Amino acid sequence: MAVTMQDEEISGYRLIKMLGAGHMNRFCIVEEKATCRQMTLSFFDLSRPSPGNSYREKFLYEVGRATMLAEQLVHKNILQVYKAGQSGDDYFILAEYCEGGHLYDFLYKNGERLPIDTATNIMLQVLDGLIYAHSTEATIQLNDEAVQVKGIVHLDINPGNIFLTGEGKELTAKLANFGFQRASSRARFYDFESGPKPVPLLFFMPKQQIIDIRNEKPELDVWATAAVYYFMLTGKYPKDFPPVKDAVDFALKNAAVPIRERNPDIPEKLAEVIDRALIEKPEIGVKSAAELKGLIEEYGE
């Protein structure tokens, strides 16, 4: 899939570098001609065949709503979305560029596990972004009506949606793609309601979200964030997943492995915080991003 910059909406940018491409999307770095500011440009292919005739309309509606929300989130720990629109068979999004890439890249470059101080620094910043998002007011378009909402839930927190810029003490973490997992699932990228869920999503997803795709409680993000923290400190997912065909059933029936069984070097007090945050039954153990941040900060005192 080629990247063209001829469309009126994106003609003010020059292509710098392709970052990658998937089955239905592709990513690149572009430079705004007027300011020389670098950004990421993401394209989503709307020509992909899909069951039924409403795929394109569903996607445009859902991803348009997600983009509208993302554009209203302005915080140092949230990736800024600048512009979105349609170009031919593509939907495109222009967003802030982070030279450090996403957290998966950072983990690959720094070994399977991160030092506690580094992982905790990233985690507290992600939680700051969530505290802001979960409490902010925004406007969404529901059909032809603009509706005010209080609190925006991410629903797909994983290392691929946490981007990094700077290094050392200046390392800054930014959450990306608020609401896009919901948009893609409802538009049949992943059919949660009738088809098998892809394993990568399950690694950082509590059972409450697997059971009910319409569940948008902030605590889902809190559980997923704790799962990312666990991953940074151990190099492993909280649950030992079997082959894909059994993954959903396994995720629903099994609890997270206590973190010190993965990495006995984790201090007991911190391990207690993480294990508590990854409780799912009878309910999620930590309900808010502010609560989890406070518990982690208590460990450091």
Enumerate the domain spans of the chain: 13-96, 103-300
Please state whether beta strands 13-21 and 162-165 pair in parallel, antiparallel, or not at all (unpaired).
unpaired
Task: Give the global pTM.
Answer: 0.87
Closest CA to 268 of 116, 139, 153: 116
Average pLDDT of the chain to the nearest whole number: 83
Measured CA angle at 30 (ends 35, 14), to 5 deg: 75
Weakest mean pLDDT among 57-61, 201-205, 278-282: 57-61
From residue 180, alpha-carbon distances to 31, 40, 153, 229 in Å are 24, 16, 11, 22
CATH architecture of 13-96: 2-Layer Sandwich (3.30)
CATH architecture of 103-300: Orthogonal Bundle (1.10)
pLDDT of 142 reads 67
Express each pLDDT in 138-185 by its tens digit. 887 666 777 788 888 998 999 999 999 998 889 999 999 886 655 444
Residue 177 region by backbone torsions, left for phi larger than 0, else alpha for psi between -120 and 50, else beta? left
- From first CA to last CA, the distance across the chain in angstroms is 52
Q: Which residues contact 49 (CB under 8 A, 6 or more apart)?
A: none
On the question of a common fold for 13-96 and 103-300, the answer reads no
Weakest mean pLDDT among 50-64, 84-98, 108-122: 50-64
The alpha helices in the chain, defined as continuous H runs, are: 55-72, 103-109, 116-135, 180-186, 199-202, 207-211, 218-234, 244-253, 259-262, 268-277, 289-300
Weakest mean pLDDT among 3-17, 98-112, 113-127, 205-219: 3-17
Integer Cα distance of 143 and 62 in angstroms: 11
pLDDT of 184 reads 46
